[in-house]
Structure 1
């Protein structure tokens, strides 16, 4: 039932929530979610739906990826996810661990690396076009005075 609700709310053609709602709640666009979903299913069998020993379908790939993303995006504890998605706390934690390991495996060469000079030039151009000069130097934010800093 939680899979059907998730699909009806976010993924079906006439879903309850709009694309803007999806982006706000998932912190990404739907097509990015679907790319992640496809990629993790191809690499890790954990994210494919399986039947248990009684022949019942287990959690869907959509449910597993949603749980992992919600835990990361909102810092939601596993026991809260348990109540919302009907997935036991231990399964939520296993799902999060599998997701993180798989994301690193799939995307480390493309996204999880130090930027090269071409990357830096592209980032600088994009930031300057938006009026944010000196962006690369500010990434660590160490030169900013922050009035609410507990040690500042």
Structure 2
């Protein structure tokens, strides 16, 4: 395969991956999310279950982000359903637009969840339909926080990408799709869609 073809295929895949995330986020925004009681700190009748946020963040970074990470690019793509550079692009854009995804200190001066963990949780819930309870076991994030994170992520993705990815295809998009289909032997592909 020529280098230009490979780069073109990777660009197309990146475009489709981002379009997929935007479309899934739009679908999720339209669905009601179970309302959670809003607590403002500790509640007298409830016990605090400590979550080792620093350790789970370090594990996440060690597994996927570090240069010598446990999982390679193909593993990342399999686990998250998108390429690593698209994840980093989404992370960067989401953190710029929505302050919810920036790491803050809580009321007792402990670091909150990292942006990497928040975006990871949202993508895992989206990619696999994971329940908030299963996320709690893996990433140490309470169910209500998982649902809040997922809702914030979906709303932010729609806000960021609706103009580019959630629109009718224009002439340039159609030409690109037709050329790609013809290169793979699917002549008249667009005309067969109703």
Q: How does the TM-score come out when normalised to structure 2? A: 0.69
* Alpha-carbon distance, 1:62 to partner: 0.3
Alignment of 1:1-152 (within 5 A): 1-137=55-191
RMSD between aligned residues? 1.3
CA shift digits 1:79-138 (9 cap, x unpaired):
111111000111111111100110111111111111112211111111111122343355
Unaligned stretches of 5+ in structure 2? 1-54
Runs of 5+ in structure 1 lacking a partner? Answer: 141-152
Distance 1:133 1:37, change over 3 A: same
Q: Report the 3-state secondary structure (helix = DSSP H, G, I; strand = E; otherwise coil) of the residue aligned with 1:42.
A: helix
What is the alpha-carbon distance in structure 1 between the residues aligned to residue 193 and residue 157 of structure 2? 23
Q: Secondary structure at the match of 2:110?
A: coil
Aligned length: 140
1:3-39 C-alpha deviation (Å, 9 max, x unpaired): 0100000001111111111111111111110000000
TM-score by length of 1: 0.87
The structure showing larger relative contact order (alpha-carbon pairs under 8 Å, at least 6 residues apart) is 2
